[in-house]
Every structure is written in structure tokens, then in C-alpha cells.
Amino acid sequence: MLPVVRIKHLKSLMPAAATLVSCLLTLLALAWVASLQSALALRPAALQPGTGLAASVYPQFKSNVGTIHWLKEQMPLKVYISHGLTLDSVMDPALGAPIANIDNLPAWPKLVAALIERPEKWKTLTQAGGFLPGHYQAAKEGVLAWKIFEPEGLIKYELTEDPEEADIYVFFTHHFVTKLGMALFANDIRGYTSKTNFSYAAIMRGAKANFQPVVCVLRTTDNQGQPMPLGKMKAAAMHEFGHALGIEGHSTNNGDLMSIYYGRGVISPNDADTLRYLYHLTPDLIP
Ligand SMILES: [Zn+2]
């Protein structure tokens, strides 16, 4: 059965499909000219060898299966940041480990979709160990940081307190575990994001997609077992939301938010140019 929230989304998307392509192409052409102009004004001719991309755009934004981003028709995206809820109590009986383990990332969206459909199950979710009220605020600030791109018309999203209507979910965990239930205490990975993607071309041809929620999970403790400092939590949320928006890989420039080192905990000029570039492309896939 299709999750209710996704059906709603599909309905809003499908009637527009026929007219969408030409509008989108026009918009893309206009946006492309505008972006080229601003890119040229800012950074004259520096291209990365072999990529054809401006030096500020890191090519790792693209997944190995192509470019991924949301469509205007899906916006405003609704983002549900839980007040500390964890998915860890939902166990895989065969593994004896949480379903939301890091070896099982593709299963996370389906798990959340199933929980939304069953309020009695949703009510059993508990708060992650180590969660502090300040963590919610920090995660919220991190997620909202990408709103600086709204005036440019690239993205549009809002927070919701109603989990039934969300497109993107933020949960928490004390620490991540593997499928063997092994705890990853010592590493500095503060979050993971999982999304299911659908062929843009197929959807434009009228194919039905069983849209799934995008799921981010943030860690409440650091690699010393101490409460995650609020600045690090904010950076982690900002970074994971960058993945939720479609930046798939990691910049190799350590100063960028979307590097594995979280940069300076802010959206860098490279991160900004990369998101702009991504949203001016026709996607291969949509979340
Ligand atoms: Zn990442």
C-alpha cells in the first residue's frame, strides 16, 4: 500500500507532468543564463581539469547514478524534525539489531513510511539517549540554514510538527550501529541520510512512483561519548540536509560543509555554487 503522504505528493505532481517539461525547459534556459552570468561575474574562467565545471562546483555532488534533486512541483518541502525521537527501538528480529542500522540505509525510508501509516507504532518511538533540548534547536538552525537559497527560487521548504505530511524527517540516535549490532562509538560520523530516488524521465512519461520519505538521523553523542556539542549538531544537521536536498557525495575540500569534516560548520561559497549548479540541471532522479 502506498503511504498516504506519498499519494498526496504524487497527485500534486502528476497532473502537471504534461506541461511541466516545456515550462521546465524554458525556466532552465533562463536560470542557466542567469547562473552563467553570475558565475562568470564571480569567477572568470577557472575550470576543474576534465570536468568542465567551475572550480567552485565540486563534482562529487553527483551520485554514481546521476544528478538528484527535488522538483518545483514538490515544493514547498515539509520537514519534520522530531523532538529527539530515535528509530533504534524498531528491531529487525532476524538480525537482533535496529532496522535503522548503517548497513541497511536503503531500508530507512520504507521503515519511516510504515511507521507513519501505523500511529500505534509511531507512538512507541522513544527519545534517543543523550538527547538534549538544545539539540533540537541546533538541528533546526542547521536545517534552516539552506533557506538562504529560497530568494533565488532554487528550493522552498518549511518545518512541520505533523509527521504525516512531511517529505523529510530528522531523527536522532545515541550512536550508530552496524547490522551486527556493533556500536560505532569512536568515529566522528555525526549523521546519515537515506533517500529513495525515482527516474525523472519515467515519471514525466507518466510512470507511477511510490515516493518514500527522506530520512536523516543525527547522533546525540560525540566520539568521546559526551553530549554532541551544539555547534557540531548544527553543522551535522546542515550537512545532512545538504544530502537531503540532493548533494550526494562529499567535497574533497575540507573547508566545505559538504566535506566529511563539515568544513567550518557553515555553507561555504563552494557549497553554495554547487547547490545552484545542481538545481539548474535537469535531474536524472528525483527523491
Ligand atoms: Zn555526508
C-alpha 165 to ligand 1 mean position (Å)? 25
- Residue 29's pLDDT is 38
Task: Give me the pLDDT at residue 33, please.
Answer: 37
| Beta-carbon contacts of residue 188 (< 8 Å; ≥ 6 apart) | 222, 223
Distance from the alpha carbon of residue 235 to the mean position of ligand 1, in angstroms: 11
Q: Quote the ligand 1 centre to 250 CA distance (angstroms).
A: 6
The amino acid occupying position 57 is V
For residue 134, give the C-alpha cell: 538544545
Contact 192, 218 (CB under 8 A): no
Under 8 Å between Cβ of 201 and 108: no
pLDDT tens digits in sequence order for the chain, 287 residues long: 333 334 345 434 443 333 233 333 333 333 443 443 344 334 444 677 777 788 899 999 999 999 999 999 999 999 999 999 999 999 998 888 999 999 999 999 999 999 999 999 999 999 999 999 999 999 999 999 999 999 999 999 999 999 999 999 999 999 999 999 888 887 889 999 999 999 999 999 999 988 999 999 999 999 999 999 999 999 999 999 999 999 999 999 999 999 999 999 999 999 999 999 999 999 999 99
Q: How far is the CA of 120 from the centre of ligand 1 (A)?
A: 32
Q: What is the pLDDT of residue 54?
A: 84
User: For residue 125, which of 179, 168, 82 has the smallest C-alpha distance?
Assistant: 82
**Domain-wise residue ranges, the chain:** 4-286
Measure 195 CA to ligand 1 centroid, in angstroms.
Answer: 13
> How many angstroms does the Cα of residue 23 sit away from the middle of ligand 1?
33
* Gap from CA of 243 to ligand 1 centroid (Å): 7
pLDDT of res. 95: 85
What pLDDT, on the 0 to 100 scale, is given for residue 227?
97
Domain 4-286: homologous superfamily in CATH: Collagenase (Catalytic Domain) (3.40.390.10)
Q: Structure pTM? A: 0.84
Asked if residue 136 lies in contact with residue 83, where contact means CB atoms within 8 angstroms, the answer is yes
Is residue 60 within 8 Å of 251, Cβ to Cβ?
A: yes
Distance from the CA of 62 to the center of ligand 1, in angstroms? 13
CB 258 within 8 A of CB 248: no
